[in-house]
């Protein structure tokens, strides 16, 4: 267990990123800016907190990518199970931070941060078996798509997930499905070697 914690750089990279993530949620919870829309030509209000999970999911990816192949491939330790546990722990920690901050500052945008982290982590894990470590850019593509195409005169489309209301069933389902698919992929498929 201890070698796994160290090999995954959990005590350094992941904890630092978690601190950055919490700081971002605190700082960005009320930041809104008008971004250009590529569909209507007008501007759409986009909340900056959508980007708060970026350092956290990226650090999680760094963690999962820092492997010791020789020791892990022997199969004497349940490494994949531990990795899945790590993913779920990170998401739970993000949701906890979002809930605490959201409730104590009465900010509804911070409450959605757990769901959004789950969705983005799921997206990353879904594409990781296909393209390896560049999968870390998949959520960036999604975020850009949401910012540029995801709004119809200020209202987010159903597929955009991230800026939807907290109790939106489609967004919750999407986050759950993407995370489940990502975990299944991680448990069953061998990740591509670092390119």
Do residues 110 and 49 lie in contact, with contact meaning Cβ atoms separated by under 8 Å? yes
Q: Which of 5, 48, 88, 100 binds other proteins (CB under 8 A)?
A: 48
Tell me how far, at minimum, the Cβ of 76 lies from other proteins, in Å: 28
Of 83-91, 95-103, 143-151, 161-169: span binding other proteins (CB under 8 A): 143-151
Rounded to whole angstroms, the Cα distance separating 4 from 1 reads 5
CA distances to 32, 47, 115, 142, 160 from 50, rounded to whole Å, are 10, 6, 11, 11, 11
List 136, 162, 175, 179, residue binding other proteins (CB under 8 A):
136
Strands 155-156, 43-47: pairing is unpaired
141 binds other proteins (CB under 8 A): yes
Among 10, 58, 90, 91, binds other proteins (CB under 8 A): 58
Q: How far is the CB of 104 from other proteins (least distance, A)?
A: 25
Nearer to other proteins, 78 or 154 (CB): 154
Eight-state DSSP code of residue 174: H
What does the DSSP 8-state code read for residue 78? -
- 139 lies in the site for other proteins, by CB under 8 A: yes
User: Residue 141 and residue 40: Cα distance in Å, rounded?
Assistant: 20
Find residue 43's DSSP bridge partners.
36
Residues that bind other proteins (CB under 8 A): 13, 17, 33-36, 38-39, 41, 43, 46, 48, 51, 54-55, 58-59, 61-62, 65, 133-134, 136-137, 139-141, 143-144, 147-148, 194
């Amino acid at each position: 267990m201890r070698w796994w914690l160290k090999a995954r750089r959990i005590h350094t990279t992941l904890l630092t990123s978690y601190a950055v993530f919490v700081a971002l949620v605190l700082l960005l919870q009320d930041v809104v800016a008008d971004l250009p829309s590529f569909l209507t030509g007008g501007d759409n209000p986009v909340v900056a907190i959508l980007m708060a999970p970026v350092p956290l999911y990226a650090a999680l990816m760094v963690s999962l990518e820092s492997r010791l192949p020789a020791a892990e491939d022997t199969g004497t330790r349940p490494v994949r199970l531990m990795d899945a546990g790590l993913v779920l722990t990170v998401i739970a920690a993000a949701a906890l931070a979002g809930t605490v901050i959201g409730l104590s500052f009465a900010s509804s945008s911070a409450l959605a941060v757990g769901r959004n982290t789950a969705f983005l982590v799921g997206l990353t894990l879904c594409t990781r078996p296909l393209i390896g470590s560049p999968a870390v850019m998949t959520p960036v593509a999604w975020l850009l798509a949401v910012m540029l195409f995801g709004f119809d005169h200020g209202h987010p489309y159903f597929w955009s997930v991230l800026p939807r209301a907290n109790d939106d069933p489609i967004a919750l389902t999407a986050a759950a499905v993407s995370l489940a698919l990502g975990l299944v992929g991680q448990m069953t498929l061998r990740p591509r070697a670092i390119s």
